[in-house]
Chains A and B, each alone.
Chain A
Amino acid sequence: MKFSKWLIALAGVATLAGAVVVQAQTAPDALVKSVSTEVTAVLKADPAILGNQAKLKSLIETKLLPNFSFARMTQLAMGRNWAKASPEQQAALTKEFQTLLVRTYSGALANFRNNTIDFRPLRMQAADTDVIVKTVVNQANGQGIPIDYSMEKGADGSWKAYDIVVAGVSLVTNYREEFNNVIRDQGVDALVKQLQAKNK
């Protein structure tokens, strides 16, 4: 008897704790800010990291990857072609697309080393599950590059980015056209193969 009461109490505490954790999930703008600040700080402290593929990869994998929803990104880039792909093809596409983006991103990081980032205030309602976090990367030449992150709230309450819009150019939109062309002319498997070849 006592044990079961204790069990119920425990369950109650756990639920409460869970609720608190969900409440405490970082707001999307705070998340972008902390991740960007952390990454730029690491790059500043250790610029040699840019020449070290292994270190760079681990920085990206630990700091950035968990905050992106590559499944959603791939799905959006595929557009109406997503439904035409088998689950195996979808998985392969997501994997290859992620690899391609990570490589591109590590290449791009070098250009961002000496820049400062402004974070624009985010207007959002408590119930929002899809927001755009706006930042501006200030370059030495006075040209600010606006970088917007489209972010969605997952079932677990965490926010993940599903598109990056650099100076008005959406990553997802850019790839949608490329993917669509390949699929239209050669099919889904050809796209998987092209991505694999690109990632080799």
Chain B
Amino acid sequence: MKSVLKSTLFLALASSALVLSGCASFKAAAPGDPLEPINRGIFSFNNTFDHYLFKPIAKGYDAAVPNLVKAGVSNVFQNASDAQSMVSDAFQLKGQKFGDDFGRVILNTTFGLGGIFDLATPMGIERGNEDMGQTLGYWGLGAGPYLMVPFLGPSTVRDSVGRYADGKIDPISNLSSVPVRNSLMGARVVDARVGLFPAEALMNQAALDRYTFMRSAYLQRRQSLVLDGKRPKDE
């Protein structure tokens, strides 16, 4: 019994030493990104995948579909995300945001014909723009290590947990008809990719190293969302 314990302990120590020496051989890791070497690998995989498959599809869609239709499609997905946001508003006890998102969803779903038209925005009802990752952050959970998720892009441990929870309350992925659900989820991905074109162009123009640039922008953006645009105290 004792020897088993001893060897386990030895193994644990040896492996931690290995991990430590492994770390030491990397260049000093950026704070918040201990997995940088792995993340960079996934980043480069994502870029290749995007370049050969994802971006061409989104470009084709962007070129082929009239603007009016594209706007309607975006609005439907945005409406679904407003409904998700409502849940996070409630979990953060943000009454104003909850009321706004609730009003948006009711108005856009009924008079906006299932969300195709966004009537709430011209009426000045602002988007709450909350999600479960922000909710966890609001209640004090730190972002944790930065993660580059295959196919999905930048995230953190906290935001990945949040994304999983958001998926559970996503109106579209809970649709009962599988073909409708799958085609909507596919269309949503394409719509989101088209929405990234301006930011992508900006990043390509501005960044010396796109990985670092994206990481810094992502982490700053998420922190700002958690703080609802207020500045962090240490600034």
Interchain pairs with CB closer than 8 A, number: 71
A143 to B220, CA, bound (A): 18
A178 to B208, CA, bound (A): 7
B206 touches A173 (CB 8 A): no
B224 touches A169 (CB 8 A): yes
Residues A142 and B205 in contact in the complex (CB < 8 Å), given A169-B221, A177-B212? no
Q: Please name all residues of chain B whose beta carbon is closer than 8 Å to the beta carbon of A108 when the two chains form the complex.
A: 198, 202
Contact partner, B118, options A141, A146, A178, Cβ 8 Å: A141
A177 to B118, CA, bound (A): 39
A142 touches B127 (CB 8 A): yes
A177 touches B30 (CB 8 A): yes
The count of residues in chain A whose C-beta lies closer than 8 Å to any C-beta of chain B is 28
User: How many whole Å from B64's CB to the nearest CB in chain A?
Assistant: 20
Q: Please name all residues of chain B whose beta carbon is closer than 8 Å to the beta carbon of A64 when the two chains form the complex.
A: none
Q: Is the interface of B mostly helix, strand, loop or mixed?
A: helix
Q: Please name all residues of chain B whose beta carbon is closer than 8 Å to the beta carbon of A182 when the two chains form the complex.
A: 208-209
The count of residues in chain B whose C-beta lies closer than 8 Å to any C-beta of chain A is 33
B208 touches A194 (CB 8 A): yes
- Which chain A residue has the least Cβ–Cβ distance from B214? A174
A141 to B212, CA, bound (A): 29
A168 touches B78 (CB 8 A): no
A146 to B229, CA, bound (A): 8
A-contacting residues, B183-235, CB 8 Å: 198, 201-202, 205-209, 212-213, 215-217, 220-221, 223-225, 227, 229
Binding site for B on A (CB under 8 A): 100, 103-104, 107-108, 111, 140-144, 146, 167-170, 173-174, 177-179, 181-182, 184-185, 194-195, 198
